[in-house]
Amino acid sequence: MRIVMLGAPGAGKGTQAKKIAAKYQIPHISTGDIFRANIKNGTELGKKAKTYMDQGLLVPDELTCDLVVDRIGQPDAVNGYVLDGFPRTIPQAECLTQALAKLGSKIDYAIDVDVPDENIVNRMGGRRACVKCGATYHVVYAAPKQEGICDTCGEKLILRDDDKPETVQKRLDVYHAQTQPLIDYYSGQGVLKSVDGTKGLEEVFDQITAILEA
């Protein structure tokens, strides 16, 4: 099974992708991991990607697609994979479709973890992080024993800038402009499946496994 995970930042798609990968023994592939591995191993594609990243530029779609296609060609992905964070845009999706077609392959499922914006703003606004040890909490779902204090090291917890409501809303705006059209794209290909991401972690996973095992 070849799966693409879709969903807004903070919808929980990364967590679900890892759970799918573990259950079905297929690799969880994120573009960040691919970039890091290729750069670390000094591959040709990695060197090309690094020249963009060192300048703070986005890696071009075609190069990103090449890196992903190279990764899904590895032996551990022969029975399938879960793509997380790629494709992000229509050109990336088209590039992936074309590259897979050349290999006689295609995406089987595009799973959209659907969560309304206001839920995401509230969810991420409740996150707290420890400045010292990096432990993370949530004021509602995973509160520390003592309010504002890290259970692990006793340091003060903070609301990170990227979890502040105005920053989260900006990221959601970018998502709706760039990535939301992918929902229509994969719907047009007949592979889109939506799950209710407002439910609990296990309940969302149950919805996904029901789709994959139908």
Mean pLDDT of the residues in the chain:
93
Largest Cα–Cα distance in the chain?
56
Check residue 78 and give its pLDDT: 94
SS3 139: coil
CA–CA separation, 106 and 100 (whole Å): 5
> What digits encode the pLDDT tens for the residues 114-139?
999 999 999 889 999 998 998 999 99
> What digits encode the pLDDT tens for the residues 64-73?
999 999 999 9
Tell me which of 18, 48, 50, 171 is the catalytic residue: 171
Check residue 32 and give its pLDDT: 83
Tell me which of 123, 127, 128, 193 is the catalytic residue: 127
Residues 6+ apart with CB under 8 A from 115: 7, 8, 10, 11, 12, 123, 197, 198
Tell me which of 13, 71, 128, 193 is the catalytic residue: 13
| Type of residue found at 178 | Q
Q: Is 160 a catalytic residue?
A: yes
Q: Is 171 a catalytic residue?
A: yes
Q: Is 13 a catalytic residue?
A: yes
> Cβ atoms within 10 A of the Cβ of 168, count?
22
Tell me which of 18, 48, 50, 160 is the catalytic residue: 160
> What digits encode the pLDDT tens for the residues 143-200?
999 999 999 999 999 999 888 999 999 989 988 988 889 999 999 999 999 999 999 9
Asked if residue 24 has pLDDT above 90, the reply is: yes
Q: Where are the domains of the chain?
A: 2-115+176-212
CA–CA separation, 130 and 212 (whole Å): 37
Contact present, 48 and 81 (Cβ < 8 Å): no
Classified by CATH at the fold level, domain 2-115+176-212 comes out as Rossmann fold (3.40.50)
